Structure 1
């Protein structure tokens, strides 16, 4: 195999004698740089990569790429190392990485999903469905990346639990192209990828070929970064300009997604889905119960009855989106529908925590809902299944959009019987300040408990709940950490819920033995 050179990754750039310099790998961070790597010194919001050029050369970089400006033009040589100025470098990194890794997105059917809520669930459901239909598929998103292989010895549930974390919903442009190349080499026929607003704004996916794009919804989130809802929506809408785009799929029940129908580029197909009104793909005769959902499905490819163990109408909406995305690949509707009952929920998304269903007497659900819309949808879904009271345990993240805090307080109070406000990831903010801003949205804040320690809050709700009650632990979902100022500590809502349930069961068994004992 011939070594990749600067000429291979920078076509059209006048490289002169630098053209034949070999590039072992691409690197954005000198802490990860190895001898022979090309260091890409981009200018970030907080750090200017050009400040680390000397360090990169000291570590053995074969070449440096920098953002062109009045100080950097053309090629400058620092010893034997060329420093090459590139116009709009940040926007070019995706293309440079794509060339280095062999244009992997052109070798696979790629499904991109964007929207405030539903990205993780849709990507994991789509990857599972495609794996069951074509043996191997892959996913890239919030929970990590990896191959799903129905021919492997490990069950799909175990494979979902073994995804490789990247720390981002959508990885940086170099990592993303590397991951796509790895998954293609591993045999993935399709890849479902979450596309965040940050990644679109920062051009991380600028040179990722997307065959099918799903637009789920737009609700309040990330306004600390985007400034306002319009800018946030415009960032997500950039997915319409993805290279190679063939089909777009829009949620007709969301005003923002519906508004994008008129912005679809010429030559790109557009489909809509809905759980409420007639659309290209829609559901009728919807039945929600404690075992999931059933509905009659109407599509351009025929009609069918679907049955799923997923809870809530919003999960039915997610199912409609991924059924459409898979059907446009040419799979028969009957084959798709036959797989739906076996699709597993995403970890930390309406995830039921069960130690002993009969002995624990209460239903505990862990969900990632961390926006007003997501919390409302989750609580409304739970109301459709409840037999007793609803206990909601939640907080809001620090150093993030503060305007959503009172809104979530309002929703939690209105749709729950009992509310416990606790820490989420406070980061650099004072936890009591965050709690106070949540309480401001409540009509009766005195009726809400504030228990800052999240483990104690979870335990209190589980122990105090009566038989038939539902405890929702919202906001962190799959996360296995909690961030306080300068430290990140291990923490899992699911593990804490299991500990609390075990304690509840043990107490119940002890009480039963005491009542049955003879004086």
Structure 2
């Protein structure tokens, strides 16, 4: 696209020719190719303005900045473009270069401190069962009709516009009808979804997370609230006070779901077993008793969210109800392994106090003997939640093994000391910094009737300690270890 065409509807100032042809956006200098428009934005750790010369040498046809001082001092043979907000421009330009593909799709975007991945996959499964072609985008990756679709992009909960819009364009070309995506607070705050035509925005819950990134809890809430303004219709958790507040302010068609009452779609628990729940679904002129293959209030709430979205999309109630009992959880969400020795291992992504409480609360009711919990907290993230997670774990666990998560530049021993300040005085626990050794210790200590919850990393396949990222998967390690224990019998 000619630069003049790309810029004609956007406020900007240009030095140089606007007749240059540009093919795509790039903000990582090592990824720049001939014909790119280089976005020289300031990141958390690096400032792309330092790499402008290298970008030009790599073939960039134009440079975009949002620093007027830097713009005034630039001297170059290629065009420099100043825009007032480089993140908003990146979203707009990415969408325009791809022909605004989101307009040809029905898009459901899901936000919430916990549950985004689960709900997105549940909705994706239900849409597939209605014979629709579906793309699911989120923490676990990009899936087309349940199959991993694109693995060559940065793993973010909400994709950057430079990746999102080309994927949406490819989805259109592959006759995809629905896209279900996770909308993280950082994705919303940094305008990644600004030029995405969202049909249904879903609000699940609000807990404390990413506060260092946003600066305050209030800014975190404001970031989440942006989804309401970007969506044509909204679905909200009627059991969550924040979500109800969003609903009061939003002048959109809206529908509430919940498990406690006073909602449009109510999923009421009738009976709960070790692995399934019998519930009554009530909405408008419909009522149906169904069995769902999950336990715990938070999973029932997730199911209610998915059912409400399907109702908002006008799928027949009976058709949806018929398929709910066949739903499965995504990788790393309450993923359960049964050992031949009679104990159970559960791997879950829970890395906030609310998520950990939801998992342990659900599991505790099924434990016949002891509940072991193996976890830690990530480094460079939300220090304040560590003590709270310790308190939650201590409330439910018979024995805790503190280990390492992605501690990054922080000392894992210090992280674990901060977690342990939340333990009750009588808490049985130990510290084993090697995550593999910690998991193996728990499995070797467990006996028949015990349950081991390994929390924090779920689907993740790497671990970052210091500046080094190495392959490690809780799921793979547990599967291999259980096989080894069987061989040792």
Residue 209 to residue 445, structure 1, CA distance change in 2 (3 Å): farther
Q: Deviations over 1:21-64 (max 9, x none)?
A: 21122111121111111112123333332222211111111111
Q: Distance in 1 between matches of 2:429 and 2:275?
A: 31
Query: Which residue does 2:212 correspond to in 1?
Result: 224
Shift, 1:306, TM fit: 2.8
Residue in structure 2 matched with residue 184 of structure 1 by the alignment: 172
TM-score of the superposed pair, with normalisation by structure 2:
0.95
In structure 2, C-alpha distance between the alignment counterparts of 1:163 and 1:342, rounded to whole Å? 27
Tell me, in whole angstroms, the C-alpha distance in 2 between the residues paired with 1:162 and 1:386.
Answer: 39
Q: Residue 296 of structure 1: SS of its match in structure 2? A: strand
Aligned to 1:395: 376
Moved more, 459-468 or 446-455: 446-455
SS of equivalent residue, structure 1 residue 211: strand
**Could you tell me which of 144, 148, 156 is aligned with 1:147?**
144
Q: 2:235 pairs with 245, 249, 253, which one?
A: 249
Moved more, 444-453 or 192-201: 444-453
How far 1:366 sits from its partner (Å)? 0.2
Report deviation, 1:385: 2.3
CA contact (8 A) 2:153 2:163 kept: no
CA distance in 1, matches of 2:453, 2:159: 30
Give the distance between the partners of 1:284 and 1:426, measured in 2 at CA. Answer: 40
Q: Which residue of 2 aligns with 1:5?
A: 2
Partner of 1:60: 59
1:111 aligns to 2:99 (yes or no): no
Q: Find the counterpart in structure 2 of residue 207 from structure 1.
A: 195
Shift of 1:82: 1.0
**RMSD of aligned alpha carbons:** 2.0
- Matches of 2:468 and 2:15 in 1, distance apart? 48
Q: Does the CA-based 8 Å contact 1:143-1:163 persist in structure 2?
A: no
Separation (CA, whole Å) in 1 of partners of 2:153 and 2:287: 38
Asked if structure 2 preserves the Cα contact closer than 8 Å seen for 1:146 and 1:164, the reply is no
Cα deviation, 1:132-172, whole Å, max 9, x if unaligned, reads 21331011110111311xxxxxxx4xx25986663211111
Greater mean alpha carbon deviation, residues 281-290 or residues 485-494: 281-290
TM-score by length of structure 1 reads 0.90
Match of 1:173 among 149, 158, 161: 161
- What is the CA distance between 1:301 and its match in structure 2? 5.8
Correspondence for 1:32:
31
For 1:193, what is the secondary structure of its paired residue? strand
Between 45-54 and 188-197, report the one with greater CA deviation.
Answer: 45-54
Aligned residue number for residue 309 of structure 1: 293
Residues 289-308 of structure 1 aligned to structure 2 (within 5 Å):
289-300=273-284, 302-308=286-292
Q: How does 1:473-512 map to 2 (within 5 A)?
A: 473-507=454-488, 509=489
Q: 2:332 aligned with 1:348, yes or no?
A: yes
1:341-380 aligned at under 5 Å gives the runs 341-354=325-338, 359-380=340-361
- Stretches of structure 1 lacking an aligned partner (at least 5 in a row): 149-155, 510-519
Tell me if structure 2 keeps the 8 A contact 1:67–1:90: no
1:84 corresponding residue in structure 2: 81
Q: What is the aligned counterpart of 1:318 among 295, 302, 305?
A: 302
Change (3 A) 1:160 1:444: farther
Q: Indicate how the Cα distance of structure 1 residues 291 and 19 shifts in structure 2: closer, same or farther if over 3 A, else same.
A: same
Q: CA deviation at 1:178?
A: 1.6
Correspondence 1:411-450 to 2 at 5 A: 411-444=392-425, 447-450=428-431
Cα gap change, 1:163/1:338 in structure 2, threshold over 3 Å: closer, same or farther? farther
Measure how far apart 1:15 and its partner are. 6.3
Q: Do 2:141 and 2:148's aligned partners in 1 also have CA atoms closer than 8 Å? A: no
Please say if 1:195 is aligned against 2:176: no
Q: 1:271 aligns to what SS in structure 2? A: strand
Please tell me whether the aligned partners of residues 439 and 445 of structure 1 are also in contact (alpha carbons under 8 angstroms).
no
* CA distance in structure 2 between the partners assigned to 1:458 and 1:361 by the alignment: 17
How many Å separate the matches in 1 of 2:421 and 2:14?
Answer: 60
Aligned CA distance change for structure 1 residues 388 and 164 (closer, same or farther; 3 Å): farther
Tell me what 2:265 maps to. 281
Provide the rounded CA distance (Å) in 1 between the counterparts of 2:482 and 2:402. Answer: 20
Give the conservation status (yes or no) of the 8 Å contact 1:7–1:15.
no
